[in-house]
Amino acid sequence: MIHRRHLRYALRPGTWRHAGRRVVWGRTRPAVEPDVPLTWPITEEMKARVRIRWPVRINPGRPSLEDALGMIKSGIAAHVPIEHGDIPQPAGGVVLFHVLDRGSTRRVVIDTDDQLILNDSVDESDVYFKMQYLKGGYGRPHVRPGGYVSLQPALYKYRWRWRRLRERASPAFDVYGRFGTAPEKQDIRRDAIARLSAHERFRFSGGSGAVWWGEYMDEICRARVCLDLPGRGEICYRLVEYLAVGACVIGPDLMAELPVPLESGVHLLRVPRSLDGLVDGCEQLLGDGSLRDSISRSAEEYFDRYLALEQLGAYYLDALWRTLRD
């Protein structure tokens, strides 16, 4: 199965077009790469006092868990050193690590599970970051939104490149969205794709056909509007990738939220969970270039201020520092 999928990718011109582009990107520096101030500043006292002890081993057999946690870990490591130790791990899609400060040890859990429910380790933690954080919260002050990440390091390295590509490229798609076959959310995905494909007011492209990730990113940059839908969890990595390149996004309301909630009409356009108004919303965005441009700029700014890895790492450290001070 894996080899057949790779062969299909290799036969697509878009795979090689982007592969060549990435070779060029890797050898040259972008003309513009702004220095965005930290939304959650890291003080010298925080740098001097906070120590992170990360487990040598996390739960085996969960590659996506390790990849997601590696992204967050790199964001934290951009600000404070991380040491490693033998820390017994809870079961499930979580990691337990320690924050050390002047002889005090606090237990911190990051929960990457796709479901909205909390892991049993919530009762044994001092701070608990939930990536699929239920909108409105859990009524437990130590449970915090955990943000969300793409599993692709290239997104964070080359996001400026993809933005320039999006600005220069001639649009090839009206409304675009490619989705996998996660059975948990197939009803809403099938419904959305059926609604967007059943008329002649605009053209919907994508559907469930898989392409190599690099080609998919190029296609995002050539779309006027990108469709966000739940995956195995409410928040999907596609949303992070859309925001990173400044795509104009539309999608249904989600039951999960990020640390700084996205605003409909500002960072993207949300429609009811029933998908009523989805087609009309797409048509509105396609007919209003000024609104699309405004949403695209706000999406880029949101990513740079809240979802870039150094920003997400600063958010985690700010929450941990407040816990230590309390």
One-letter-per-residue 3-state SS of 202-245? CCEEEECCCCCHHHHHHHHHCEEEEECCCCCCCCCHHHHHHHHH
pTM over 0.75: yes
Of 218, 169, 160, residue with least CA distance to 30: 160
Helix (H) or strand (E) holding 300: helix 289-302
Domain ranges of the chain: 44-149+309-325, 153-307
Q: How far is CA 65 from CA 11, 72, 151, 159, in A?
A: 31, 11, 10, 23
Percent helix, strand, coil in the chain, to 5, is 45, 20, 35
Per-residue pLDDT of the chain (326 residues; tens, 9 = 90+): 455 655 565 556 567 676 777 777 877 776 667 889 999 999 999 999 999 999 999 886 676 888 999 999 999 999 999 999 999 999 999 999 999 988 889 999 999 999 999 999 999 999 999 999 999 999 999 999 999 999 999 999 999 999 999 999 999 999 999 987 556 557 899 899 999 999 889 999 998 777 888 889 999 999 999 999 998 899 999 999 999 999 999 999 999 999 999 999 999 999 999 999 999 999 999 999 999 999 999 999 999 999 999 999 999 999 999 988 87
Q: What is the CATH number of domain 153-307?
A: 3.40.50.2000
Residue with tokens 């059926």: 194
Q: How far is CA 33 from CA 27, 160, 164, 311, in A?
A: 15, 6, 11, 15
